[in-house]
Amino acid sequence: MKNILLALALALPLCAAETQHDIVVYGGTSGGIIAAIQAAKSERSVVLVSPTAYLGGLTTSGLGWTDLGSDSILGGLSRDFYTRVYHYYQKPEVWKWEKRANFANKGQGPPALNPKTQLASVFESSVATAIFNDMLKEYGVTVVTARLDLKNGVVMDGQRIKKIRTEDGREFAGKIFIDASYEGDLLPGAGVSFTTGRESNATYNETVSGIQSKRAVKNQLPDGIDPYIKPGDPSSGLLPGVNPDAGGKDGEGDHRLQSYCFRMCLTDVPGNRVAFEKPEGYDEADYELLFRAIEAGQSRDFTKFSLMPNRKTDSNNASGISNNPIGLNYGKDWDWSTLNHDERLALAKKHEHWQRGLMWTLQNHPRVPEKIREEYSKWGLPKDEFTDNNHWPHQLYVREARRMVSDFVMTEHHCLRKQAVPESIGLAAYTMDSHNVQRHVKNGMVKNEGDVQLGIPGPYPVSYRAIVPKKGECENLLVPWSLSASHMAFGSIRMEPVFMILSQSAATAADIAIDRGLAVQDVPYDELEPRLLADGQKLSLADDHPDQ
């Protein structure tokens, strides 16, 4: 009898009636968590529906060296998160492997541990996970693990989402929906305009969107790398992943996505280090470009070793041949955003396999000089991180997928402060940053294309108009991640702290829309702005005070 009852209990979610909430947040990312918490603070019934059991997105998956730009943009719940990180690292018992005075940064403790602001933007993933879990518990947020039915999961009633349906048949009805996924997965079903890839410069009168071959000088391959499988023999074919040309002129648009990677967490502490093993199915041909880059003179920067507390790293892409398997996240007729959940998991595994193979190759392969092998052999995966995932981060760095196209589009002109931004709901402050998009033959050599890093004069506002769909489209959806921005503007706005900031503002706007019975496009800014300021959000350049 007990077994029958247990079986019935396990089956209940598959046949349960829909649940009703004021606000439904889809996406267990950092922004999803913050949006759900703000909704709970506003005393709204809220559910956070996450396609994965592991919450926090990139913030809890290796991205511990926060791409921030300026502490001054942090306010409200984002500031609360980074303040909690700061106070955690004031505890002497958390320094497990060495004394704080011996860490780095001239004995001042971990980088970005700022006693003036009491903010810390460098942290271990396990610490970020614990803090997010504490915050969710404190505010009583209901979290459900379920994957959106990507074909029929957005149920509309006119121009409003009535409910979302997950693959297991559960349904979540709401008054307002917040898409906090990295893919913008609610957009297609809600009939919301969006784009992928890179617009041309002409689309928004920009200078750095579209194909960028000439500007791609950083994170570039060394000169002299032959593009053919058999060097000097075009009849042997191009190396895998190398295109015959850039696919168009500089500034022209295309369908391609900037490259993804896992932000590997490494350590060189022997007692906490798990060695890299040769991946099953390893093929040294996958690393031919690495070997040829070394033969052409590259001897360093095959990964980053950005140090975090307790001798761990946030290891991002570092050069022309590094952690980014360029071009793996799209094809001629598809890209990451068009894949279903299982296909995304499989593609993420390919990224993991390639990066694990890269590290094993750097540590062991005879075509890698001994000096490089010795340097990289010091590093392994930390035993005390991602203990349920073979010490590997859970979330692939999806740097860009769908981007909404609304009545207002953030562009490079707004990031550069050349055009005014109406109705600010938060600030961004990071460089406009696109990772490489493809490899191609240029002047008879293999070269990367798409890496553009364009500095900005300082923090700039992000508009409320960029997180709501066009007038006449979905009336009850807010989109704080896959927002309305050009490829290059998105390259600045997409940073995790900004995601948290915009997500909190989205939830506040949702509260007003419910109170007033309004479409999200009609939320009056003269009501939204004072609410955001009361929450501690930074909305204007006048708020740019680093020591506050």
The whole-number pLDDT of residue 97 equals: 45
The two tokens of residue 46 are 């809220």
Residue 2 has pLDDT above 90, yes or no: no
**If we measure between CA atoms, which residue out of 357, 256, 341 comes closest to residue 303?**
357
Q: Name which of 543, 468, 471 is nearest 509 in CA terms.
A: 468
Torsions phi, psi for 266 (to 5 deg): -120, 165
Q: Is residue 523 part of a domain?
A: yes
Q: What is the pLDDT of residue 116?
A: 86
- pLDDT reported for residue 90: 86
Which positions ≥6 away from 231 have C-beta within 8 Å? none
Q: What is the pLDDT of residues 489-537, one digit of tens each?
A: 999 999 999 999 999 999 999 999 999 999 999 999 999 999 999 999 9
pLDDT of 11 reads 39
Would you list the DSSP string of 41-80? HTT--EEEEESSSS-BGGGGTT--B---S-GGG--HHHHH
Crossing angle (nearest 10°) for helices 125-138 and 76-88: 130
What does the alpha-carbon distance between residue 207 and residue 434 come to, in Å, rounded to a whole number?
A: 13
Q: For residue 286, what are its two tokens?
A: 């996958």
Q: 366-423: per-residue pLDDT in tens?
A: 999 999 999 999 999 999 999 999 999 999 999 999 999 999 999 999 999 999 999 9
Distance, CA of 434 to CA of 199 (rounded, Å): 13
| Count of Cβ atoms closer than 10 Å to residue 369 Cβ | 12
38, amino acid identity? Q
Confidence of residue 111 (pLDDT cuts 50, 70, 90): low
Q: Nearest Cα to 171, choosing from 189, 193, 148? A: 148
Q: 136: domain CATH number?
A: 3.50.50.60
* pLDDT at residue number 75: 97
- Report residue 542: phi and psi, to 5°: -65, -20
Nearest to 301 by CA among 283, 289, 287, 316: 316
Is residue 138 in a domain?
yes
DSSP per-residue codes, 385-454:
SSTTTTT--SS-B-----EE--SS-B-HHHHTTSS--SSEEEEE-SPEEE---EEEEETTEEEEE--EEE
CA–CA separation, 103 and 110 (whole Å): 7
Q: 517 is written with which tokens?
A: 């019975």
Q: Please state the rounded mean pLDDT for residues 29-35.
A: 98
Burial environment of residue 159 by CB neighbours within 10 A (0 to 12, 13 to 18, 19 or more): middle
pTM for the model stands at 0.94
What is the predicted pLDDT for the residue at 28? 98
Residue 392 inside a domain? The answer is no
Q: Does residue 261 belong to any structural domain of this protein? A: no
Torsional sign, CA 361, 365, 367, 372: positive
Q: Which structural domain, as residue segments, surrounds residue 519?
A: 19-196+405-430+463-543
Taken in order 434, 468, 395, 72, the sign of the CA dihedral is: positive
- Position 9 scores a pLDDT of 35
Residue 282 lies in a domain: no
Nearest to 491 by CA among 240, 305, 215, 77: 215
Do 45 and 23 meet the contact criterion of CB atoms below 8 Å apart? yes
Q: How far apart are the first and last CA of the chain?
A: 62
As to burial, measured by CB atoms within 10 angstroms (0-12 exposed, 13-18 middle, 19+ buried), residue 321 is: buried
Q: Which of 48, 96, 58, 42 has the alpha carbon at shortest distance from 494?
A: 58
455 within a domain of the structure (yes/no): no
Residue 32 lies in a domain: yes
Is 219 contained in some domain?
Answer: no
CA dist 535 → 76, 337, 523 (Å): 5, 33, 17
Location of structure tokens 């390259």: 491
Q: Which residue has the higher pLDDT, 9 or 432?
A: 432
Domain count, the chain: 1
Cα distance between residue 190 and residue 181, in whole Å: 14
Give the whole-angstrom CA distance, residue 33 versus residue 26. 10
Q: How many other C-beta atoms lie within 10 A of the C-beta of residue 325?
A: 21
191's tokens: 């009939």
pLDDT exceeding 70 applies to what percent of the chain?
Answer: 92
Radius of gyration of the chain (CA): 23
Mean pLDDT on 56-62: 98
**For 253-295, what is each residue's pLDDT tens digit?**
999 999 999 999 999 999 999 999 999 999 999 999 999 999 9
